[in-house]
Structure formats: structure tokens, C-alpha cells
Structure 1
């Protein structure tokens, strides 16, 4: 009986040990998966836990801003004590620029924000810049292009040449006009112009309010042209010429300790419906093999090709 009792006790002890090891193994696996996910996804509860200056990059075409708006909310709730918005963009959709402007004004209510135009900050990208508290640009940066545009091809002469016509039944003459298949009527052109002018007026009012222009000053900068950083400073489109260090110095003007804080990149989460982990994983891999520029390009690539976008655009391109 004593031997059987000893065996039974040993079995129970062994089972307990196995249970403990199973729990530890499960916890180890869970922690490993969580850390791996955060390493790939970028923004995480494991990062940005101490006071710092957050850096947001706005590169390339301005399209859907769902991911950036989520990012702004995360930064607002984080330990970031200031925000640098690094801009290198020709603009994009007017609605995308509006979303960025609104999001940055909301973020500015909780954190001091400064825009740094590193190379190009035009149209919808400039719209985003005026949503911050202060604008810095390099001397040779291109700034401005305040305006709204809608473009559409008209192939009616080509269709006439090859003997093809497109017929339509409309509920009213201005439905789906202009369509590009027939010459644009004066009424359709006027209706479209009214939409462009309405949004253009809103854009100008936004710039006038944020940059404290009078009517003459606004007229000098809002005819759609671009300016160098030096010209933009003289015209009061920006506040300072300089680089990112200049932007950091401005953040530390009222709070000197901010100058000593580290600058940490905040990368927006992918909103791609197809394999978001593959996208973020590729960007993370590129970063860690010394190809940071490739990683930035993967992260900032638009989900929808610019050529497939319809509607009003605020964009500059030679």
C-alpha cells in the first residue's frame, strides 16, 4: 500500500508540474505573439510610454484619412507632449485635406502642433499645415497652390471620328453632366463651376482665418500658384524658415524641457482590406534591413490609385 501511495503522490506532483509548465508555455507564447504583433504594427502600448515628441509623416497623395484620424486620437491620449507633422505632399482630394485639417485642429486642442514642410506642401497638404499651430518650411520648399480643381476627359470628337455615340436617358438635363461623351453644355459647365467656386471660397476663408490675412493679402496668395519657402515667409503663408530642429525649438519655446525629449515616429495603421499584416510587415522588414525610405514608401502608398479618384481635388503637379 505504501508503494502505491507513493506512486499516486508522485503522479499528482508530476501533473501539477506539467500544468505549471503548460501555463508558463502558454503565457510565453502569448507574450511573444503580442510583442511580435506590436513590432510589426508599429504603434503600440509597448511604445511611446514615456514623454516624447510625436512625429507624424504626411507623404504622397492625400486620399482617405481614416487611418490618420485614428492615429491623431491615439497621440492625443498618449504621453506625447508635442507633435511635429512632417509634410512632403502635392495634396490630393479636397475632402482628404479637410479631414486632415479638422483632425489636426482637434489634436492641437490637447497638444502643441507644428508643421514642417520638408519639400512640398501644396493644396490639400497646405490645408493640413494650416491646421497646426505653427508652420516651418525649408527655404527651397514649395508651398501654397491654394485652389480647387475638377478635371474630366472629353472624348466626343474622337467618338465622332470613329462613328460611335453614347446614348442616355436622364431624369434631368444636368444629371451626370458633364459625361465626357458629349460636348459640355454651358449649363453643365456653370453648375460645375459653382461647386468648385463654393469649395474654393471655403478654402480661402480657412486660410484667411488661420493665417490672419486681409483681403489684399489673401488675393496675393490664393490664385493657385506655388511659392518657395522664402516667398511663403514673406507672404505670411508660413511662420519660419528652417528644418525639423527649428520646429522642435518652437515647441520648446514655452516649455524648454521639450527640447530634450526624444522624437518618436508614429506610423498610421494600415487600412488596406487585403493583407494589412503583409503591408506593415514588409515596411517593418525594410526598416530593419536598412531600407527606411522603402519602408516609408510602403506605409504611405495610397490604398486607391490617385487616377481612380473622382471628385474635387486640391493638388499641385507640374
Structure 2
């Protein structure tokens, strides 16, 4: 990297923060308006104040302007990092369920590629139903940063669902096999309540805690109504972050993004132009990236894929995981 590249990176990160902040405000405004509607009421005409409409329009215009500036700085970064001579395309696999081990394997690879002057871009090969929230978000953040410097194309041949899709939207484009399953936009929380099981087996649990919520989510008791509300708010926060990531990555308005946020998956051929850019195989994904780099015969290197051998949901936790896969990985 050239010495002056860090001024571009700093500017890009500041713009990203600004875009995210404005988008969160806009999302909060829209959610507040939706929550104010009575759930069991007949359709009514809602009058929106002129001031509220003007504020929303101003936020949208601000996001649009920040996005244009971001694209300009991204172009500057990529020009600074364009390899000279023979260009290599790296294929980085993310296979299986995503946990801390996955992040530990994938993130150093992506960070190393960012510093490798011979690599022009990355095909992120995702075959995953998702996983834990934290590692998914860490990998997504790393993909977004890499895409600022070098173009990233996400590809799936079978499934990029929930956390897998979350990571994919960090790429510049998403290519998928026509019958690959994509989407499952949503968050699921798994809680063990083994209190009755403990009682039936004569197990008594004594808990010494420093606060009323210190054992919230523990398997030896159920949740109180207040704790259920707290967990619901926490899950909704993760969900709004997921919505914002998809909206930003796919260039879709938030209201449009919500239409796909039902937790279900779609065949890629049915959501081309929205959740995915184009359908095709791995070679086509390489071709798309080659065209982005304006090269005809790249050298292709496939990194060795690693996956956790003992993925298991051992306790109460929030997941970015397709619901169909949850029960098989619950372990007591």
C-alpha cells in the first residue's frame, strides 16, 4: 500500500459512520411510525405532518449524498491498490455453520489479502445457513472494509441464508446458482427452560447473584415478563442492524428490504435483481470479478476452507441462523 492510502481509508470510514448514523435515524423514524398503528384496527388514513415528511426527505437526501462521496473515495482506494502486471483473484470459502472458529479462520485471510499487492479481488464462496451473531458481524465488517480496497464478489452454489447472506451483502455483487437458497433475513433467540426437568430429577439449583438479571437466560429457570421484553428489544436491535446491512449492501430502500425480512429463503432465480445480482456458477462469478478488474486471464487461487467440527448451541443465545437448522444443533 502507498503511504497516503490511509487518508482515504480514514475518510471512507468516517463516511460509513455518517451513512450508518443517518440511516439508523431514518429507520427509527419509520419503525416508530409503524409501531404507532393499532394492530387490530380497521384501515385508516394517517395524516403525516409536513415537518416529519421534510425531515425524512432530508435524511434520504443526506444518505444519497454520503453514498456518492463514499463511491468516489472507494474508487480512489481501488485505483491506489490496483496490482501491476499479472493479477490474481482469490477465492475464499466460508462453508458450514458460522461460529468464533470460522471468524478466526476467515478474518486473518481477508486481512492478509487486503495487504497483498498481487491480489486484485476476491470471490467469497459462501455455503452456509448462518450461525452466531458476533462472528457473523465481525466477518461482515471485514468484508465491507476489504471491498473498499479491492472488489469482492459473493457467490453461493447452494445456500447463503441468514448469517451467510448477512456476510454476502458486504460484497459488491452477489452471484448465485439459480437454485441456491438465499435470504432468511431475521434473528432467532434460543432459550433453554429446564426448570421442570430439574425438579422432576430432584436437582436443586442455588444461585448467588449480584443483580436480578445476572442469570437471565439461564436454563435452570424460566424468563420473567420483564426479561422477555428485554430480550425482545435486544433481538429487534440485531434485526434492525441486519435490515440496514441488506438495505445498504443491496441498494434497496428499507421498506423494500422489509418485504424480504420474513425469515424465509428464496431460490436465487426468483429474487434476481433484488437479493442477488445475477445467477450463474463459480466460473461466472470469476468472470464478473474479472470484468470489474478489467482483466481477461487472471490467476485464480483457492484458499483452503476450514469449518468447525463441533458446532453446537449450548445455551440461551441470539442467532443469525436459518430456523430449519436450529434444532439439530441444540446441545444440553
Q: In 1, Cα distance between the equivalents of 2:284 and 2:317? A: 37
Does 1:161 pair with 2:200? yes
Q: Structure 1, unaligned stretches of length 5 or more?
A: 1-48, 268-298
Does 1:181 pair with 2:217? no
Residues 93 and 246 of structure 1: CA distance in aligned 2, closer, same or farther (over 3 Å): same
Q: In 2, Cα distance between the equivalents of 1:98 and 1:265? A: 23
TM normalised by structure 1 equals: 0.69
2:312 to 306, 314, 318: 306
1:92 to 95, 111, 131: 131
Q: In 2, Cα distance between the equivalents of 1:212 and 1:304? A: 36
Matches for 1:128-143 after TM superposition, within 5 Å: 128-143=167-182
> CA offsets, 1:117-161, max 9 Å, x none?
111101111111011110001111111111122212211222333
Determine helix, strand or coil for the equivalent of 1:57. strand
TM normalised by structure 2 equals: 0.66
2:99 to 59, 63, 66: 63
Q: In 1, Cα distance between the equivalents of 2:236 and 2:255? A: 19
Show the counterpart of 2:111.
73
Native 8 Å contact 1:229 1:241 kept in 2 = yes
The Cα RMSD (Å) is 2.1
Matches for 1:42-53 after TM superposition, within 5 Å: 51-53=87-89
How many equivalent residue pairs? Answer: 237
> CA offsets, 1:201-256, max 9 Å, x none?
1111111122122233112111211111122325x011111111221222233444
Determine helix, strand or coil for the equivalent of 1:171. coil
Residues 160 and 308 of structure 1: CA distance in aligned 2, closer, same or farther (over 3 Å): closer
Q: CA deviation at 1:263?
A: 1.4
Native 8 Å contact 1:94 1:313 kept in 2 = yes
Q: In 1, Cα distance between the equivalents of 2:199 and 2:107? A: 47
Native 8 Å contact 1:59 1:88 kept in 2 = yes
2:298 to 253, 258, 261: 261
> CA offsets, 1:38-92, max 9 Å, x none?
xxxxxxxxxxx95221110110111121332211122122211221111101111
Determine helix, strand or coil for the equivalent of 1:95. helix
1:197 to 219, 236, 241: 236
